[in-house]
Structure formats: structure tokens, C-alpha cells
Amino acid sequence: MASSNRLRHVDSMASLPSGAGSIRELNAVILGESLASEENHLVFPSDDFSRQALISSPQQYLEMYKRSIEDPSGFWSDIASNFYWKKKWDQNLIYSENLDVTKGDVSIQWFKGGITNICYNCLDANIESGNGDKIALYWQGNEPHVDGSLTYTQLLHRVCQLANFLKDNGVQKGDTVIIYLPMIMELPITMLACARIGAVHSVVFAGYSAESLHQRVMDCKPKIMITCNAVMRGKKTIDLKNIVDAALLESSQNGITVGLCLTFENESAMKKEATKWEKGRDIWWQDVVPKCSTICDVEWVDAEDPLFLLYTSGSTGKPKGVLHTTGGYMIYTATTFKYAFDYKDSDIYWCTADCGWITGHSYVTYGPLLNGATVVLYEGVPNYPDSGRCWEIVDKYKVTIFYTAPTLYVTRYSRKSLRILGSVGEPINPSAWRWFFNVVGDSRCPISDTWWQTETGGFMITPLPGAWPQKPGSATFPFFGVQPVIVDEKGNEIDGECSGYLCVKSSWPGAFRTLYGDHERYETTYFKAFPGYYFSGDGCSRDKDGYHWLTGRVDDVINVSGHRIGTAEVESALVSHPQCAEAAVVGVEHEVKGQGIYAFITLVEGVPYSEDLRKSLVLVVRSQIGAFAAPDKIHWAPSLPKTRSGKIMRRILRKIASRQLEELGDTSTLADPGVVDQLIALADS
């Protein structure tokens, strides 16, 4: 393919000069000025910011981007050479790929044959370069007076102790360990300990129910479960050990027994004496891990050996085990972190995401530590003991880079230390972007509004803070090595200003390699719709200047505060309620969570609507999946709009849920068009 053809989606970047010029006259705003509401504002980094930025101009970005597309082997090989490899990869085969299902099995490999270890690169390599005494982790507990910290050397010692314990208890390279921990320091410690010995970690968000945890145990058959007895989230105590016990009991009844449950005593939430215990299986972390040696040999692994499994909701009820491998993921997360946040050695970095999600893997643990960064971890919730908690933490630790879902309330705190803001979760709309820019960042901090997914491993479309002007609400341009394309329903690439399905052609190092134990589902879900491309499942518009605007999911997955939840998963939980005959779930815009969950419920014949029943249905979802998946709205539905073939017309349900009643479109294909009027009449009941 001709170079100009491959790069056409950023050709318009060439017209964006870093100095004064015609584009700066188009309602441009320089950092430090307040941003008004005009849609066509361009927000430029200040000259001072750009001068000090790692990528300081559109021209520098374009040169690097073009090389990353035209010579991916050379581009990524040069970057990878900055990390430690026990053995270099085959220089003649930096990567191999087939994204076209019509030409055989989908396959992606990067740095195959290269031997390395991501834990070594996160910790040992930083210590060897003189950063042993630098703070790696600041930890802030749920209560404001509870905190802690670890230097890189101290963190390595803790990681080695746990790694030795795991090895002493039979965990070997390739074995899976499930981690069900809250945001305490032991969570990244456990991830790194697994990586050090070549074990595959699967972190499960410590808010998932016993049933969800059980499903994951059944799928990946872990050697060991690691948890803590409880956690405080605000004033609420969550008994994590009880949830684990229920999940392990159900798993053993279904033929999968986990022989060891290592439990950390989180004494601020629950004392040992109050924790239920199963002798022979359960063991206290504090009784055994501190006794282990602080030196642990590294298990060197191939670049394509598995690093972790992370389960994400799918369009069917069964969670998908997204599998990431070591070498490419390591290089990609480190590089995206460095450039998207313009990282400097003096920065203090805080990402508010939980390590139970991909953001916590790539941008709490691995990406930052691979760059030798100082990372803040926070155990609690953003509004405890009051709504200023996050800003108190920003001021306390002098946070310079803050990566969060931009829905937090700003109060009396200075936030003067902030240098760069990042937005995670749903793409933020222009008004939320302006609020984040004007209020949180005092009109002086660039915003990295990042688009990426669990499956991509790292940022795919994201601003580089010093490189180019931003547009409020746009994820801007692709990261190095990423070729986003917008296609129509037939899979034809659309040029210029357009809207359609967002796909990626050609692979990138951070791409996931398969769905655990189900490569066929991997191919069907991501590659069959548009052969030759990775299909993101998202819609996207590209404007006349080449900027990308994400328009949300085009399949049945809802993104709630950055948590991807399959509608089928929520629906199956709802219909398990004895009085629910049928359920259909859609996503609606939510000013705090990005998307909210809106459930249409058909009850068993003869059962009356009631507030108690509404609460009972929400409770079923909370207990089966977790509180984060609870429906925001229950809409009573005597029947659902279906085609004659029985397919639920979700398009119509979305319009009713968002009250876009003038946009219902053609309802003539419905088996009973009168259903729509019925639903509208019951909208606020």
C-alpha cells in the first residue's frame, strides 16, 4: 500500500503549524486562558509547555508517526532496545500478523524469541539505574490519616517475598493466580510477584459478586486465590473473604477446587477474629509472606508468553478472558504512558482507576513503573469523608499528572501542582471537557482524553499534550503505530470527513492475542465483521481537520464509569428473579458515569408493579454481578418491541430511554407497533 494512502487519515495534520499561522486565528485559545463554549475552539499548549514537551510540535509527531507506520519494525525495535532483554528478538521478524479471517487463523506476535521479564524492567532495572531510593508507591488509605509509601528497593523486596511464597506453594510458570484485592499496596505487589515468576495473574475487581468470581474461577482454574478479609469504602465495610468463600464453594461443587487462599488482614476494615476461616485452605498473608526471602530469581519468559488474563463483559452472558502477553504489552504501555502524559522524572502521578480494570493494569502498575514513576494509590471513594477528598490527595502528594473520570467535585483545594489532566472512561462531551479544563485545571493543564480498550492494552487515539491544538471532546489523533480507519457497513474505508465504524488495520504491540480458551470467539467478536481489521465495536466521526470523535458503542456493551458491562449479563441476572419474565437493557447518557443502565422489565403475568419489586430487581443484579452494574432505571414494560422474528428492537428502546421520542423512526416492522405507545405512557411510572 502506498505511503500516502496509509497515512491519509493524518494528512490534515500537516496544516497545523506549531508557531503562529492561519490555524491559530480560528478561535484559538492558549493554555492559561479560560475556554468559552464555542464548538470550534482550538486549545493550544503554551509555547513554554511545548518547548519542554517530549513531543513539542505537529511536525515532530508527524515525523515519528509516519516512521511508526512505514517502518514499524525499526520504530518499535529502537524503543524496545531501551528495556532489558535477556535475549534479543529475531531482528528479521520484529512482528508477524494476520488480521484477515479469510486467510487463516488470526494471529499477532511481537518480539517473538525475545526473552525478558516485565517485573525486572519495572523494579530491578530502575534500582540499577540509581532510583532505588525513589518513592515507587504512595498509598492513601480510606481514612485521611492512614497512609504509607514504598521506595523502588522496598517494593522489590516485598514483591520477592510474595514471589518466593508462591513458588514454595507450587506456583510455576504459566499457572494462573486470581487476585481479588482492593486498592491496597498488596495489589500491585501481587501482580508484580506473579509476573516475576512467570505466573499469569487475573485480577478481579473487588466489587464483583461471588457468582462473577465463581465464573472466572471456573474459566481459568487458578492455582491460588489471593484476597484480603475486608475493605472500607467510605463508611461501608465490604466483607471480601465472605464473597471469596461463596465463590470457592460453588466452584468446588462444580469440579474446580482451589487449594490455597492467601488472605491479607486489612485490619482497619476487619480484625482476624471476625474473619471466617477454612483450615487447611486459608492462610494469613502476614503469618507467612514476611518470613520469605527478599531475593527472588527472575523467571525469564518469551515476549509472547502470557502475562495476564482480564475478564471483560461480552454481548453474551459469559465473560471474555482477554489474554495479554509480555513483550509487546510492556513496550506499548511504557511508551503510551511516557508520551500521552509527557512524563518527566519529577512528576507525581495519580490514576484513580482500580487495578481490577485494564486502566489499573496499564496506567497504575505497569506503564508508570516501567518509566520509574512515583505512583499514588487510593483505597477509598472520591466523596469520603467529603467531596473534596481527591483534591486533598492531589495537594497532599503534590500530584502533577491526574488521570481520572472527570466527574469529581472541586472545592477549596489549590491543585496548583497539577500539570496534565487525563480523562478515562467514556469519551467526555465538550461541556464536560470545558469544565475539566477551566475548573479543575485552572485553564492551564492540557487534557489527555484517551480512547482505548481492555483489548488494545494501551492508548490508541490520544492527544500528545505539547504537540497540537485540542478540540473539546475529541480524542484527536492516533498514537504511534496505530492506524485507525472508519468503515461503512460493508467494510469499505471512508476518507475525509465522515462517520462510521471504528476499526484498526495492522497490529500494534499492545494488542491482545486471544480470548482465553476460545480463539474462535476472539475471531468472531473482533475480526469477522470486517475481515482484515480489528473491529473496536465503537462508532467514530472524523472532522474536516482529521480529528477523531468517538460516538459510543455500536454493539450491546455499556460503558459505566469505565467499566464495560454486557447487556446480556445484566439481562440474565434480571430474568433470574422469579417475578421477571423478560428484560431488555440499554445504555443511556449519564452525567456522572458516562453511561447509565436502563432496564425494561416485563413481569410474570398477574404480578403487579411495585416499588419493593423494583428494589428487589436491582438487588438481584447487585448480588449476581456487583453494585456497579445495578440498573439506574427500571422501566415497566407489559411487552417489548419485537420484530416478527422475535428480535427485540433495541434501537427503539434506546430512543425511549433517552426520551428522543421524535426520533423513533419506522416502527412498521414491529409485530405489534402499539407496544411503543404503551412504553412511552409508562416512561415515568
Give 303's DSSP letter: T
Chain-centre distance for alpha carbon 606:
43
Q: What is the pLDDT of residues 415-471, one digit of tens each?
A: 899 999 998 765 676 777 888 888 888 888 999 989 999 999 999 999 999 998 999
Per-residue pLDDT tens over the stretch 179-204: 999 999 999 999 999 999 999 999 99
C-alpha cell at 637: 414494560
pLDDT at position 646: 57
Of residues 242, 240, 245, the one with CA closest to residue 228:
240
Residue with cell 503562529: 20
Q: So what's the pLDDT on residue 432?
A: 74
Average pLDDT of the chain, as a whole number: 89
Q: Tell me which of 7-16, 359-368, 525-534 is least confident.
A: 7-16
Q: What is the pLDDT of residues 586-613, one digit of tens each?
A: 999 888 888 899 999 999 888 999 999 9
Residue entry with cell 398477574: 606
Instruction: Using CB atoms within 10 Å of the CB of residue 663, give its burial: 0 to 12 exposed, 13 to 18 middle, 19+ buried.
Output: exposed
Show Cβ contacts of residue 496 under 8 Å, excluding neighbours closer than 6 positions: 542, 544
Domains in the chain and their CATH numbers? 118-320 (3.40.50.12780), 557-682 (3.30.300.30)
Assess contact for 465 and 446: CB atoms under 8 A: yes
Instruction: Identify the CA nearest to 222 among candidates 241, 209, 203.
Output: 203
Residue 625 half-sphere exposure, CB side, CA atoms within 13 Å?
Answer: 29
Q: Which residues contact 217 (CB under 8 A, 6 or more apart)?
A: 178, 225, 247, 248, 251, 256, 258
- The pTM of this model reads 0.84
Say if residue 642's pLDDT is above 60.
yes
Catalytic residue among 488, 555, 672, 677: 555
Q: Who's near 407: CB < 8 A, 6+ residues apart?
A: 432, 591, 592, 593
**Which residues have a Cβ under 8 Å from the Cβ of 355 and sit 6 or more positions away?**
181, 183, 187, 188, 191, 203, 361, 364, 365
User: Cell 475486608 sits at which residue?
Assistant: 230
**Strand 261-264 to 224-228 pairing:** parallel
Question: Which residue is it, cell 482480564?
Answer: 310
Give the span between the Cα atoms of 570 and 591, in whole angstroms.
21
pLDDT digit string, tens, across residues 39-63: 457 888 888 999 999 999 999 999 9
Check if 555 is active-site. Answer: yes
Give, in degrees to the nearest 5, the angle at Cα 72 between 67 and 75. Answer: 65
Distance CA 43, CA 386 (A): 32
Task: State how far the Cα of 480 lies from the Cα of 461, in Å rounded to an integer.
Answer: 9
